[in-house]
């Protein structure tokens, strides 16, 4: 079937939610409670990054819960209120001339709705070295706020030289006994005030002109990093129990066709209703411009977005009635 034929046979809904992490599942739950015909499209199992997180201790109401267990509870809750979840990969979101959106997927489906909530999150930039994937959640982390408390009185490493890496290294010193800050150059890229704070922190030791080549570990988790000197090529090792990687984060906003307001890093700018600069297109969670990216902020965004969608659709219907002959 051609793309044109798919568009003609588009499956229609009140709202389409793109992404099945905490924000997407929360949005689906609220849309269900609002009696909206919603569809959630997720490329894998519902839960998003929760499925890559071992233990969560900063989500209110759960002093300690496995990431996969929280994902299961959120999915079950959303389904209780009628969430319709399909497994597919969204390739494009495009606004039509009539104001509706066509959401096209990898399997060749086209779904249509007057409102879309994008909760596709973002992807931490990986080092791409041996051991990184094997020890993800077992010493390798991309979130200091999420995992820092697991490393009390331990020696850990932070990889990166920008604002995020330097700020998170400073944050981690409240837990760790020592933090190595590993950077591939001989000076940081972070803002001067963050650099000063890190350089003056007695718990932080700079490791200049080094890159991580291998992350070693055992059944207990990470225990050593193999480093390469970017000037001489020489190798060395560093004994640590944790490796926090902050070398970039890419918001998954590339599926949106057409211009939308965003910041320099590509994060989507929204108003206080979570609506983007494209009418009817809402964003929630990690791909939105905000101070911090946590499970709590993701579900908060999603709550606002879902309720805002209800109001948006009501106004849209009223305007359609008023303008009809």
pLDDT tens digits along 69-127:
999 999 999 999 999 999 999 999 999 999 999 999 999 999 999 999 999 988 889 99
Position of tokens 């002093």? 63
Cα gap 184→205, rounded to integer Å: 14
Output the pLDDT for position 60.
94
Task: Note the pLDDT of residue 56.
Answer: 83
CA distance 198 to 73: 39
Q: For the chain, give the percent of residues with pLDDT over 90.
A: 78
As given in the structure block, the two tokens for residue 189 are: 């890229």
Nearest to 82 by CA among 21, 23, 43, 31: 31
Query: Which pLDDT belongs to residue 5?
Result: 56
Band of the pLDDT at 50, cuts 50, 70, 90? confident
Token pair 């490796």: residue: 243
Q: Please give the pLDDT value at position 6.
A: 53
CA atoms within 13 A on the CB side of 108: 7
Question: Which positions are catalytic?
Answer: 143, 146-147
Judged by average pLDDT, the poorest of 50-64, 213-227, 274-288 is 50-64
Given a cut of 60, is residue 4 above it in pLDDT?
no
Q: Where in the chain is the domain with CATH 3.50.50.60?
A: 3-124+249-323, 140-245
Q: Helices (DSSP H) in the chain: which residue ranges?
A: 3-8, 22-33, 67-80, 144-147, 163-172, 192-199, 295-323
What pLDDT, on the 0 to 100 scale, is given for residue 310? 97
pLDDT in tens, 249-270: 889 998 999 999 999 888 999 9
What is the mean predicted confidence (pLDDT) over 200-211? 97
**232: Cβ–Cβ under 8 A, 6 or more apart, which residues?**
none
Q: At what angle do helices 163-172 and 192-199 cross, to 10 degrees?
A: 30
The CATH code of domain 3-124+249-323 reads: 3.50.50.60
CA nearest 120: which of 200, 225, 42, 27? 42
How far is CA 197 from each of CA 158, 165, 241, 243, rounded to the nearest angstrom?
A: 15, 12, 24, 21
Q: For residue 175, is pLDDT > 90? A: yes
pTM score, two decimals? Answer: 0.76
Query: Could you tell me if 300 and 23 are in contact, meaning their C-beta atoms sit under 8 angstroms apart?
Result: no
* CATH of region 140-245, choose from 3.50.50.60, 3.55.40.20, 3.40.640.10, 1.10.510.10: 3.50.50.60
Average per-residue pLDDT in the chain?
A: 93
């Amino acid at each position: 079937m051609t793309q044109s034929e798919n568009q003609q046979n588009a499956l229609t809904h009140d709202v389409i939610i793109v992404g099945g992490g905490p924000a997407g599942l929360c949005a689906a739950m609220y849309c269900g409670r609002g009696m909206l015909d919603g569809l959630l499209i997720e490329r894998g199992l519902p839960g998003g990054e929760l499925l890559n997180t071992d233990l969560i201790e900063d989500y209110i109401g759960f002093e300690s819960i496995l990431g996969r267990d929280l994902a299961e509870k959120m999915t079950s809750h959303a389904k209780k209120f009628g969430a319709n979840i399909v497994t597919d990969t969204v390739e494009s979101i495009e606004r039509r001339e009539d104001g509706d959106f066509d959401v096209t997927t990898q399997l060749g489906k086209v779904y249509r709705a007057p409102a879309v909530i994008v909760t596709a999150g973002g992807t931490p930039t990986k080092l791409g070295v041996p051991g990184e994937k094997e020890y993800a959640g077992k010493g390798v982390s991309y979130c200091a706020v999420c995992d820092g408390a697991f490393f009390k009185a331990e020696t850990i490493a932070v990889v990166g030289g920008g604002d995020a890496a330097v700020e998170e290294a400073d944050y981690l010193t409240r837990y760790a006994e020592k933090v190595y800050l590993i950077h591939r150059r001989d000076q940081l890229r972070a803002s001067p005030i963050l650099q000063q704070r890190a350089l003056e922190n007695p718990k932080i030791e700079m490791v200049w002109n080094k890159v991580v080549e291998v992350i070693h570990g055992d059944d207990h988790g990470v225990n050593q990093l193999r480093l390469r000197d970017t000037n001489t090529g020489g190798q060395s090792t560093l004994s640590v129990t944790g490796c926090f990687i902050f070398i970039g984060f890419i918001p998954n906003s590339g599926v949106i066709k057409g211009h939308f307001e965003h910041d320099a890093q590509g994060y989507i700018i929204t108003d206080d209703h979570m609506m983007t600069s494209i009418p009817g297109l809402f964003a929630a969670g990690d791909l939105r411009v905000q101070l911090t990216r946590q499970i709590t902020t993701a579900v908060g965004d999603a709550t606002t977005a879902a309720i805002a969608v209800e109001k948006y659709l009501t106004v849209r219907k009223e305007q359609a009635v008023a303008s009809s002959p």
